[in-house]
Amino acid sequence: MRRKLICGTLAGLILVALALAASCRSDGNDSQERRNEARTPDEKTEEGRSVTGPVKIGFAMDTLIEERWPRDRELFRQAVESLGAEVEITVASGDDALQIKQAETMISEGVDLLVIVPHDAEATAAIVKKAHAAGIKVMAYDRLVKNAEIDFYVSFDNEKVGELQAKAITALVPKGRYVYIGGAETDYNAHLIKKGVFKVLQPLIDSGDITVVYDQWTADWVPTNAQTNMESALKANRNRIDAVIAANDATAGGAVAALAAHGLAGRIPVAGQDADLPAARRIAEGTQTMTVYKPIRTLAETAAGLAVAMARGEKVEADLMLNNGKIEVPSVLLSPIAVDRSNIEETIIADGFHSWDDVFRQDRRP
């Protein structure tokens, strides 16, 4: 009788201990466990990731102000959903604190993977750290996150963008006085583009053929800020400028507006990038020389495919490794395309990025 009592007591103690251990366990993986409660055991990997069940991707965007970003949002959404996954999208409107808060909310709600278009390449590192603490991987979309252990990066070759811009303009103006209107200093892509531009310009600067008479960043990529920069460049140089390279089409538009105010639009070559519709129209009209086309559908679909695969615990392949100041980041970089008046129809129009009527509505065929 005494043995039965002892055995019963031990069994009870063991059950209590197990219950206490289960209720007190908090090892940083609670959010991941909650994400898997609705999944059947055969849908889970050893890491708790679903292989065949639905996954949810968080997409933390910086802005929708520039023409391209609404396209990215919808194309990414469509691509994720076509793969049988769900997507939640937030937009921070250039507010770093808001972007971090929005990402924290998606992390707490249990997304399976977070994709970020950072506003500030440095500040966004905090998001990566918080996501990893919750067992969630992070992908950088189009813009690299600096000084963080980011898991993957998908973009276009932004240094190549700058090279294409500079090659196009130096072919037209091999000697002269150049203005460089940069992008947002907080955006690492702006630095990569500038690096590509000056990779081409530097030998011509060293030889004395080209002089860069003005070089300034544009806060938040805002066209009016770029216009102010261009006005300053014109004033400082008494309108003696031979070429302008702008970091994107929005800043190119600001530069062209300043040139137009001085009767110089169309007389001075201007480069941009993104193939925005206003830029395509300026190319058709002759006030902007070229743009760099980055097929956004390809970017969105590539990023979505990789994100869903990673969320499901599948192995993904990188094309190269890029240093972000802390680690070598597995990356896929897509190829940009230089576009001017001679090939605009066989590139952005042939791809359906813009229609012929929209681009040439002021230059209609007979």
Are residues 315 and 300 part of one domain? Answer: yes
Distance of CA 143 to the CA centre of its chain: 4
Q: How far is CA 39 from CA 43, 49, 51, 267, in A?
A: 6, 10, 10, 63
Q: How far is CA 249 from CA 265, 333, 336, in A?
A: 15, 21, 14
Question: Per-residue pLDDT tens for 133-150?
Answer: 999 999 999 999 999 999
Are residues 268 and 174 part of one domain? Answer: yes
Residue among 325, 362, 309, 365 at smallest CA distance from 137:
309
Question: Per-residue pLDDT tens for 104-122?
Answer: 999 999 999 999 999 998 9
Question: Per-residue pLDDT tens for 203-229?
Answer: 999 999 999 999 999 999 999 999 999
Instruction: Give the per-residue pLDDT at 1.
Output: 41
Angle of helix 277-285 relative to helix 249-261, nearest 10 degrees, comes to 40
Q: Distance (Å, rounded) from C-alpha 150 to C-alpha 147?
A: 9
Buried b (16+ CB within 10 A) or exposed e, 181-211: bbbbbbbbbbbbbbebbbebbeebeeeeebe
Q: Distance (Å, rounded) from C-alpha 288 to C-alpha 356?
A: 17
Are residues 150 and 65 part of one domain? Answer: yes
Question: Per-residue pLDDT tens for 270-325?
Answer: 999 999 999 999 999 999 999 999 999 999 999 999 999 999 999 999 999 999 99
163 is a domain residue: yes
Q: Give me the chain's average pLDDT, please.
A: 87
Cβ contact 284:258 at 8 Å: no
Instruction: Give the per-residue pLDDT at 349.
Output: 96
Are residues 264 and 204 part of one domain? Answer: yes
Are residues 254 and 300 part of one domain? Answer: no
Are residues 48 and 131 part of one domain? Answer: yes
The residue ranking higher by pLDDT, 251 or 13, is 251
Strands (E), the chain: 56-61, 86-91, 113-116, 137-141, 152-156, 176-181, 210-216, 243-246, 270-271, 290-293, 320-323, 328-334, 337-340
Are residues 207 and 228 part of one domain? Answer: yes
Amino acid found at 62: D
Amino acid found at 201: L
189 is a domain residue: yes
Instruction: Give the per-residue pLDDT at 57.
Output: 98
Query: Helix, strand, or coil here: 45?
Result: coil
Domain count, the chain: 2
Q: Distance (Å, rounded) from C-alpha 189 to C-alpha 128?
A: 18
Q: Tell me the residue range of the domain where 238 lies.
A: 158-273
Q: Distance (Å, rounded) from C-alpha 247 to C-alpha 193?
A: 7
Q: What is the CATH number of the domain that holds 236?
A: 3.40.50.2300
Q: Distance (Å, rounded) from C-alpha 299 to C-alpha 284?
A: 26
Are residues 186 and 134 part of one domain? Answer: no
238 is a domain residue: yes
Cβ contact 127:101 at 8 Å: no
Q: Distance (Å, rounded) from C-alpha 132 to C-alpha 112?
A: 11
Cβ contact 189:219 at 8 Å: no
Are residues 188 and 166 part of one domain? Answer: yes
Cβ contact 318:332 at 8 Å: yes
Q: Across residues 250-262, what is the average pLDDT? A: 98
Residue among 76, 267, 79, 246 at smallest CA distance from 165:
246
Q: In the structure encoding, which two tokens stand for residue 118, read together?
A: 């950072």
Are residues 194 and 118 part of one domain? Answer: no
240 is a domain residue: yes
Are residues 185 and 105 part of one domain? Answer: no
Q: Distance (Å, rounded) from C-alpha 32 to C-alpha 206?
A: 56
Cβ contact 259:223 at 8 Å: no
Q: Across residues 146-160, what is the average pLDDT? A: 96
